Amino acid sequence: MPNDATVHSLDDHLYGYDPDHEHGDDGDHDHDHDFPESETNQEAVWLLDNVVLNSVGIDIGSSGTQLVFSRIHMRRIAEELSSRYIIVGREPIYQSPISLTPYLSETQMDTRALERIVAAAYAEAHLGPNDIDTGAVILTGEALRRENSEGIADMLAEQGGEFVCATAGHHMEAMLAVYGSGAAKYSHEHGKRVLNVDIGGGTTKLGLVDSGKVIGTAAVHLGGRLIVTDQEGRITRLDPAGKDHARAAGFSWEVGSQTTREQLELVADWMAQTLVRVLTGRFTADDLNSLFLTDPIADLGELDGLIFSGGVGEYVYERETRDFLDLGKLFGSAVRRRLLVQVPWPLLPAIECIRATVLGASEYSIQLSGNTTFISNPRNLLPRKNMQVVPIEERMADMIDPAAIAESLRRSFQRYDLKEGDQDVAIVVRWAGPPEYSRLAALARGLIDGNPLTIAAGKPLYVIADGDIAWSLGNLLRETLDRNDLFVIDGISLRGLDYVDLGRIRMPSRTVPVTVKSLVFSEDPSLHGKSDAAEWHAHGDGTVHRHHHHVTAGKHSHHDHEHSDGADHGHHHHVEHTHDH
């Protein structure tokens, strides 16, 4: 146990903020301070509703590695009587040069070289790991396929700062690119439906955003560095997807094969044609197996425009003219030519191209809980890392049924291959409707009945809600649970397959930083990288249709059939597909 002289807790701030107080390096404390060096009463009031965090985004992509340091300003939506915090500003601190991602071989990245790139960026930014409040190490594209990708991400996350998380996955990258490119901002400000097309070195990510909300993501195997040559045109790098695209264009190449500029242009044009097929929904059943890394987006709908990002996006907008002896320049130019004549939607301006993913990572990975939290023992409950999210999928009807809540929890534990009580998880509540006592009491009863082993063992219960119910729900749980620590926060939106890091309570706002991440470093071999809730089939008319399946107790209880051609095929069944991350 620590010496009483060094123990410091939230109770010491019950009667004031104590702005001159500091935490010693050897002290024991259950919160962090956001006090400026020179504080006035006006600044103290401002800090109640505003939090400023230093964030880092580290993007290790197929071809390029880069870092962005940002200062994130988050503010409580006080005018809406809400405890939710939103990002209202991002001030760039430092952007590193873009370095070629170093590889030791076809199967491994160079750990030491990556460490040197990261260390140099921190030095240039005049920041150390202790100065960083949040952020993410993102592995994207072909970098994900390397054998040591997960270990590198974890290593850099540990060295990057206390709550820098390791994250990976095509859906996550597509979503981050939407935010970093400016597509989400444009869509929100203009009320438009926009598709962001992020073309990197090894993959192309699609992000569909409508009025600022990301509603669909996908990824395909098209990129600018699938084939790389030397000055004489001999192939020095040939990824499997690059080899397939070359073969489709009529060339049987291996590493060391001699190429010409004209031949590479034909391959790049074939890839551009393929991308147009994807964008216009004319892909084939073969494309689903060989081209798509995820399920396609079911229905793009009536788009108001396209925004391109990623390294190849620089060539689409003709911002970059240099040739890096790969397909990037040729592919980007071919895409631009075909967009003008084969795609019905206008090309909208992008704020960022090559830095879109890393900029999105530096701000989107962080959420901030509301200040109506119920945290029974901050010293024991916080901080926490890598907690898996377990959502209650039951919709909050007018009358909440505790048994339905408990059953939904049991299904979620089973779906994510977890045994209730074996480990701490973050139970996610999607709240809807008024916070009436009877409804909250029913939810509390369902949470208790759905976690019998956790509660019997005296383990803590972690609950995260998106509505402003944490304080009331926490007190209702406390009436029954006197042996369990309780962590109940609100104002956070999460989905299944997310993981979260939970930081210490920050004073004086009394908020909790929550870093949201995905840890998908390898495909589930049973899913082949696709969603477990959908199948795509080719029909005789040449269209590709999607089948959804909702499985309950081993039986197909519902399925819906979506048609990419928009035709009425006479059999429409509806099912709610709850995972949209």
Across the range 505-514, mean pLDDT stands at 77
Task: Answer with the residue of higher pLDDT: 484 or 104.
Answer: 484
- The residue segments making up the domain with residue 487 are 372-508
Query: Is 464 part of a structural domain of the chain?
Result: yes
Are residues 260 and 348 in contact, defined by beta-carbon separation less than 8 angstroms? no
How high is the pLDDT of residue 307? 95
- Residues 274, 387, single domain; the answer is no
How far CA 390 is from CA of 408, 424, 544, in Å, comes to 10, 10, 33
Q: Around Cβ 537, how many Cβ atoms within 10 Å?
A: 12
Q: What are the backbone dihedrals phi and psi of residue 570, each rounded to the nearest 5 degrees, phi first?
A: 80, 5
* AA letter at 113: A
Query: Is 87 part of a structural domain of the chain?
Result: yes
Element (H, E) at 44: helix 41-49
How high is the pLDDT of residue 558? 30
Sign of CA dihedral 355, 358, 362, 364: positive
- Residues 430, 472, single domain; the answer is yes
Q: What are the backbone dihedrals phi and psi of residue 377, each rounded to the nearest 5 degrees, phi first?
A: -145, 80
How many CA atoms, within 13 angstroms, populate the side-chain half-sphere of residue 119?
A: 7
pLDDT reading at 452 higher than 60:
yes
Query: Is 177 part of a structural domain of the chain?
Result: no
Query: Is 103 part of a structural domain of the chain?
Result: yes
Are residues 407 and 370 in contact, defined by beta-carbon separation less than 8 angstroms? no
- Residues 120, 13, single domain; the answer is yes
Query: pLDDT grade, residue 175 (50/70/90)?
Result: confident
pLDDT in tens, 376-435: 999 899 888 878 889 998 778 789 999 999 999 999 888 777 899 999 999 999 998 888
pLDDT in tens, 247-281: 999 999 999 999 999 999 999 999 999 999 999 99
Examine the fold and report which residue of 450, 474, 508 is the final residue of a domain before the chain moves on.
Answer: 508
Query: Is 421 part of a structural domain of the chain?
Result: yes
Residue 426, both tokens:
């973050």
- Residues 225, 284, single domain; the answer is yes
Instruction: Report how many domains make up the chain.
Output: 3
Are residues 164 and 127 in contact, defined by beta-carbon separation less than 8 angstroms? no
Q: What are the backbone dihedrals phi and psi of residue 134, each rounded to the nearest 5 degrees, phi first?
A: -160, 175
What predicted TM-score, i.e. pTM, was given to this entire model? Answer: 0.60
pLDDT in tens, 330-344: 999 999 999 989 999
- Residues 209, 111, single domain; the answer is no
CATH number for the domain including 263? Answer: 3.30.420
pLDDT reading at 162 higher than 80:
no
Query: Is 411 part of a structural domain of the chain?
Result: yes
How high is the pLDDT of residue 272? 97
Residue 236, both tokens:
């020095």
How high is the pLDDT of residue 410? 94
Average pLDDT taken over every residue of the chain? 78
Are residues 332 and 312 in contact, defined by beta-carbon separation less than 8 angstroms? yes
Are residues 137 and 58 in contact, defined by beta-carbon separation less than 8 angstroms? yes
- Residues 377, 341, single domain; the answer is no
pLDDT reading at 32 higher than 90:
no
**Helix (H/G/I), strand (E/B), else coil: 117:** helix
- Residues 115, 14, single domain; the answer is yes
pLDDT reading at 2 higher than 70:
no
Query: What is d(CA 113, CA 59) in angstroms, rounded to the nearest whole number?
Result: 14
Query: pLDDT grade, residue 561 (50/70/90)?
Result: very low
- Residues 247, 284, single domain; the answer is yes
- Residues 211, 91, single domain; the answer is no
- Residues 163, 194, single domain; the answer is no
How high is the pLDDT of residue 521? 42
- Residues 331, 381, single domain; the answer is no
Query: Is 80 part of a structural domain of the chain?
Result: yes
Residue 465, both tokens:
């809600």
Are residues 383 and 501 in contact, defined by beta-carbon separation less than 8 angstroms? yes
Examine the fold and report which residue of 168, 192, 220 is the final residue of a domain before the chain moves on.
Answer: 168
Where in 355-490 does DSSP place strands (E)? Answer: 366-368, 374-375, 384-391, 426-429, 461-465, 486-489
- Residues 162, 187, single domain; the answer is no
**Helix (H/G/I), strand (E/B), else coil: 463:** strand
Task: Answer with the residue of higher pLDDT: 1 or 226.
Answer: 226
CATH number for the domain including 114? Answer: 3.30.420.40
